[in-house]
Structure 1
Amino acid sequence: MRMRKVMAAALTGLALIGLAGTASASAQGSGDLVWPPKDITPVHKTKAELQKQADGFSARQQQTYPKVFRGAQDVSTGNWGGEAEGVFDDMQYMGNTVTLTYKGQSVTTFTQVNAPGMHEWSPKEYCEKYATCTGQVTDHRGGVIVFAENEQFGITSARNWRRNGEVVWVQTWTPGIEAQLAALATDRAFTFTR
């Protein structure tokens, strides 16, 4: 029952902030999503191109976090990178942290944007082998949002599998903000394909 409320809140949140248009709840969610999608277009960018993109991602986070986390204060974006900070030629994924104060508590999120073809697991495989999935919804562009928990580390995440082969995920160590995670993960500003 709790996950139905979370999914409903996620759908409402997505529509209210206008980041993902409409979404719909699905009992299976990923049943129709073939992974990896056919006709993936690989992305190969220089360090300079990726740094420009990372700067754009940070600017987008500064713009959207106060909308997604209504009343958030002290939004601070970390540097984008891979296993370490910084970007390099032909990087196929990048991530960063964002810290903020929301409803009087400190919140940290981690975002990772994967280029088309980088994330090999299908939603089904992810849920069967790698995560405890708690629900899923389809997004308005034929993709799937999968919610998962890692009780050992207290992590909650939302991953958006997209038809172009990208997977974008946002996680946190703060419970109860799944709707916000879904809104961020489905924001098409976070993409390798521009």
Structure 2
Amino acid sequence: MRMRKVMAAALTGLALIGLAGTATASPSTDVVWPPKDVTPVHKTKAELEKQAAGFTARQQKTFPRIFAGARNVSPGNWGGEAEGLFDDMQYMTNWTTFDVRDQASTVFMQVNAPGFFQTSPKQLCERDKCTGEVSDHRGGVTVFTKDEVHGITVAWNFRRSGEVVWAQSWTPGTEAQLAVVASDRAYTFTR
């Protein structure tokens, strides 16, 4: 049942991205960031390791469906700038490689604890080139940015809890898939 919701979100994202004028290029002015009453999350290294194992399992399970036929899904270790986790870490990142139709692809993800990511959607669009915005199915907003020089597309999911999860790719045309990954509530610090 949960996978059906993920796939429904993917199809909605594809429809929104594909329809001219549906996704906006500038962020909503009604997105207050950071949200009021954010509850910081503090976890031990052991708790973060358990959470990272869940993130990895989720990537292995969902990426073949989200990225139509992805094979050889190989998530890297979760950590910060360097691999590895430590007590009270407020974000976790990883690289995941896979093949789609014999073409190598990579997705880089970052999951931020509530309140850690302070940049608002508006500030993000002042800093980076925003290409669109869609509401997710849980009261959040996903903002898309593009780095033309390096060919990087990023989906930034801002959540009411104060979490921001983002996913980026160097593969053209993956905006909808990145939005599904970034808005997937399995990637969270709040459990």
Question: Which amino acid in 2 is paired with 1:151?
Answer: E
Q: CA contact under 8 A between 1:113 and 1:190: conserved in structure 2?
A: yes
Q: Which residue of 2 aligns with 1:113?
A: 111
Question: Which amino acid in 2 is paired with 1:142?
Answer: G
Calculate the TM-score normalised by the size of structure 1. 0.87
Q: How big is the shift at 1:21?
A: 9.7
Q: CA contact under 8 A between 1:57 and 1:189: conserved in structure 2?
A: yes
- Deviation string 1:57-96 (CA, Å, 9 cap, x unpaired) is 0000001001101211111000000010010000000010
Change (3 A) 1:165 1:146: same
Aligned ranges 1:56-95 → 2 under 5 Å? 56-95=54-93
Q: CA contact under 8 A between 1:29 and 1:138: conserved in structure 2?
A: no
Change (3 A) 1:20 1:116: farther
Instruction: Check if 1:149 corresponds to 2:111.
Output: no
Change (3 A) 1:141 1:15: same
Q: Which residue of 2 aligns with 1:169?
A: 166
Matched residue count: 180
Q: CA contact under 8 A between 2:10 and 2:177: conserved in structure 1?
A: no
Q: Which residue of 2 aligns with 1:7?
A: none
Calculate the TM-score normalised by the size of structure 2. 0.88
Aligned ranges 1:10-29 → 2 under 5 Å? 17-18=7-8, 25=22, 27=24, 29=27
- Deviation string 1:105-148 (CA, Å, 9 cap, x unpaired) is 1000100000000110100100012x111011111222110111
Instruction: Check if 1:186 corresponds to 2:183.
Output: yes
For residues 136 and 183 of structure 1, what CA distance do their matches in structure 2 show?
A: 13
Question: Which amino acid in 2 is paired with 1:98?
Answer: T
Q: How big is the shift at 1:19?
A: 5.5
Structure 2 unaligned spans of 5+? 17-21
For residues 73 and 141 of structure 1, what CA distance do their matches in structure 2 show?
A: 29
Structure 2 SS opposite 1:180: helix
Structure 1 unaligned spans of 5+? 1-13
For residues 163 and 123 of structure 1, what CA distance do their matches in structure 2 show?
A: 13
Q: How big is the shift at 1:18?
A: 4.1
How high is the sequence identity, in percent, across the aligned residues? 62
Question: Which amino acid in 2 is paired with 1:109?
Answer: V
Question: Which amino acid in 2 is paired with 1:79?
Answer: N
Question: Which amino acid in 1 is paired with 2:168?
Answer: Q
Q: How big is the shift at 1:20?
A: 7.6
From 40, 43, 56, give the equivalent of 1:42.
40
Question: Which amino acid in 2 is paired with 1:60?
Answer: R
For residues 5 and 156 of structure 2, what CA distance do their matches in structure 1 show?
A: 18
Q: How big is the shift at 1:30?
A: 2.4
Structure 2 SS opposite 1:91: coil
